[in-house]
């Protein structure tokens, strides 16, 4: 194995890019491996949510800044459309076997590995009573992000925005489906998207249906302070969504604080879906000798980045739900832990 330290970063989303940049800036050779045809992962789907020209700190700009920095940083070799299939422990590191596009075999050596394999968005189809895929004006926050990213603010022109309901915790905080955890990001992106819609249609009525609102994170207190006076917040989640003859969406909910049963109609319903481990997380854990926590994310030592397998670290949402900014910070911690490991191994 080469004497120059080399790290394989597996996953080309924001956490993988941030880890690769941090290592390369320290003089470490990096191989950045991404299974898709382009870098970005889930972070690439985040639209700009600036309101009245003021940034809402959603993280979309952070992603684009990191992608530009990657293109201008030496020492990072990027492999797209590449999958790792088998991992061998070798003296001084690892031998990774995989395939590139057109089933071209690949073998590469690395002194250490950072896994940044990301997450899968939770499908709203598991919430059948919410009518996703059946009722035309029931969409997810991810759908709304995609519309805004593709069309800009003119996408709002085609949306019915008189009365809009945001339903939180769709798929998260659900013990029956093995997802009793909070996805951390849903309240944040829903509030920011609501402010974008409100800017476009100032007379629109925005209502949030929630268990509670998660308000941690970069500048979230200010975002919530700016939003809560403009929006109605209901402590209670709806049960069954139904279409009306007028094309609206009607549902009944129990207002937890008053125990009242109420029925209302809305023109647009946005489902705030959360974060779950990737479908192949168990396979990846077996390949690299990792444990998973009860929710299926990769388990770590108390430092949050080191695994039970020496020389293998994790970064970003494969370890726990995180925002873009938090994934960047976690990736930097993983890179620092990896550097300390390489220095110890070098003696």
Quickly state the pLDDT bin for 220 (edges 50, 70, 90): low
Rounded to an integer, the average pLDDT of 189-203 is 94
pLDDT exceeding 70 applies to what percent of the chain?
Answer: 95
pLDDT recorded at residue 150 = 94
Most confident listed range (108-122, 165-179, 211-225): 108-122
pLDDT recorded at residue 172 = 85
Quickly state the pLDDT bin for 227 (edges 50, 70, 90): low
Output b/e per residue, 129-161; b: 16+ Cβ within 10 A.
Answer: ebbbeebebbbbbbebbebbeeeeeebbeebbb
CB-based contact 45:17 (threshold 8 Å):
no
Taking alpha carbons only, the member of 167, 120, 179 closest to residue 139 is: 167
Model pLDDT for residues 148-195, shown as the tens digit of each residue: 999 999 999 999 999 999 999 898 877 777 788 999 899 889 999 999
Quickly state the pLDDT bin for 94 (edges 50, 70, 90): very high
Helix and strand totals (H; E) in the chain:
7, 18
Q: Which long-range contacts (CB under 8 A, 24 or more apart) does 51-55 make?
A: 51/195, 51/196, 51/199, 52/199
Q: How far apart are CA 234 and CA 228, in angstroms?
A: 11
275-277 vs 260-266, strand pairing mode: unpaired
- Burial grade of 274 (CB within 10 A; 0-12, 13-18, 19 or more): buried
Rounded to an integer, the average pLDDT of 208-227 is 70
Q: Which phi and psi (to 5°) does residue 168 adopt? A: -90, 165
pLDDT at 1 over 60: no
Per-residue tokens: 318 = 């494969």
pLDDT recorded at residue 218 = 59
Per-residue tokens: 284 = 């990846």
pLDDT at 3 over 90: no
- Round the average pLDDT of the chain to a whole number and report it: 92
Which of 40-54, 86-100, 163-177 shows the lowest mean pLDDT across its residues? 163-177
Identify the sign of the CA torsion 97, 100, 103, 105. negative
Q: How far apart are CA 261 and CA 254, in angstroms?
A: 5
Q: How far apart are CA 306 and CA 322, in angstroms?
A: 17
pLDDT recorded at residue 272 = 95
pLDDT at 215 over 80: no
Per the document, the length of the chain is: 347
The domains located in the chain, with CATH, are 6-118+278-346 (3.50.50.60), 121-274 (3.50.50.60)
Model pLDDT for residues 243-293, shown as the tens digit of each residue: 998 999 999 998 888 888 999 999 999 999 999 999 999 999 999 999 999
CB-based contact 82:35 (threshold 8 Å):
yes
pLDDT recorded at residue 74 = 96
């Amino acid at each position: 194995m080469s004497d120059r330290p080399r790290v394989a970063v597996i996953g080309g989303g924001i956490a993988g890019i941030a880890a690769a940049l941090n290592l390369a800036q320290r003089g470490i050779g990096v191989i950045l491996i991404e299974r898709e045809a382009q870098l970005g992962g889930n972070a690439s789907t985040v639209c700009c949510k600036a309101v009245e020209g003021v940034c809402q700190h959603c993280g979309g700009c952070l992603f684009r800044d990191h992608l530009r920095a990657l293109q201008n940083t030496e020492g990072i070799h990027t492999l797209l459309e590449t999958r790792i299939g088998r991992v061998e422990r070798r003296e001084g590191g690892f031998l990774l076997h995989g395939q590139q596009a057109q089933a071209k075999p690949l073998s590469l050596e690395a002194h250490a590995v950072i896994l940044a394999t990301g997450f899968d968005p939770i499908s709203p189809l598991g919430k059948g009573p919410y009518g996703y895929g059946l009722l035309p004006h029931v969409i997810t926050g991810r759908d709304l992000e995609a519309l805004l990213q593709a069309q800009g603010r003119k996408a709002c022109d085609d949306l019915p925005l008189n009365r809009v309901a945001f339903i939180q915790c769709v798929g998260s905080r659900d013990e029956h489906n093995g997802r009793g955890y909070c996805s951390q990001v849903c309240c944040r992106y829903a509030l920011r998207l609501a402010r974008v819609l409100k800017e476009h249609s100032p007379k629109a009525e925005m209502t949030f249906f929630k268990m509670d609102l998660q308000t941690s994170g970069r500048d979230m207190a200010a975002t919530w302070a700016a939003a809560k006076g403009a929006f109605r917040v209901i402590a209670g989640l709806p049960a069954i969504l139904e279409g009306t003859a007028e094309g609206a969406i009607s549902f009944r909910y129990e207002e937890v604080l008053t125990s009242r049963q109420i029925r209302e109609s809305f023109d647009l319903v946005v489902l705030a879906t959360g974060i779950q481990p990737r479908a192949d997380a168990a396979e990846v854990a077996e390949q690299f000798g990792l444990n998973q926590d009860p929710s299926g994310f990769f388990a770590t030592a108390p430092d949050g980045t080191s695994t039970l397998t020496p020389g293998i670290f994790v970064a970003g949402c494969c370890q726990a739900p995180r925002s873009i900014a938090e994934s960047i910070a976690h990736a930097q911690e993983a890179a620092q832990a990896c550097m300390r490991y390489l220095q110890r191994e070098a003696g």
